[in-house]
Amino acid sequence: MAEMNSFALDLDEVRRRARDHMDEGAVTNNYEGDVQKTIEILNDALATEIVCVLRYKFHAIAAQGIHSENVKEEFATHARDEEEHADMIGERINQLGGKPNFNPEGLLTRSATQYVEGSGLLSMIEEDLVAERIAIETYRAMVRYFANRDPTTRKMLETILAKEEEHANDMHDLLVAQHGDPQ
């Protein structure tokens, strides 16, 4: 019984593998995920973040109206947050030995969200809320997928997910402020 609760690691073997497989960087033999599938999933998430950056930046610049200044600031803050998410994801892809796909060609086909400019302040807020809701659902699915397969990626995605939930709440608050609580 005591053996089931004990921690045992053959350090000599771990050290040997570390030397023998240096070309694999951060990916060690106890990585339980599929590295190529992880890179593919993360490159799609990267595309989503890039599209979100572009949409928020457009909204931060193009929003007009009597209440637009505060909303424009919120859009700009969200654009910076989404850019940080893209950087985090790109770095993780690199750590796994992959190539982050920043190529604009095919960006919209790889992204979970769409690039919708909106026709006015209210529709911009609505489009950003829709995009955040899509991101939340997508990141939750990724978190469940990675679970124990890749705890580092899962933790990064949980951090991004928390920020996306905050963004959705911000957009909902702006929506309510623009045309009242629907309840």
pLDDT per residue over 24-52, tens digit each?
777 777 788 899 999 999 999 999 999 99
- The span from the CA of 106 to the CA of 178, in Å, is 34
- Tell me which amino acid residue 23 is: D
- The span from the CA of 37 to the CA of 32, in Å, is 12
Going by pLDDT thresholds of 50, 70 and 90, the confidence category of residue 179 is confident
Superfamily of domain 33-179: Ferritin, core subunit, four-helix bundle (1.20.1260.10)
Going by pLDDT thresholds of 50, 70 and 90, the confidence category of residue 182 is low
Question: pTM of the full predicted structure?
Answer: 0.88
Instruction: Return the pLDDT at 116.
Output: 95
- The span from the CA of 61 to the CA of 75, in Å, is 9
Q: For 95-134, how does the pLDDT look when each residue is reduced to its tens digit (9 = 90+)?
A: 999 999 999 999 999 999 999 999 999 999 999 999 999 9
What is the DSSP track for 78-115? HHHHHHHHHHHHHHHHHHTT------STTHHHH-SS--
Domain ranges across the chain: 33-179
Q: Give burial (CB, 10 Å; 0-12/13-18/19+) of 10.
A: exposed
Tally helices (H) and strands (E) across the chain. Answer: 6, 0
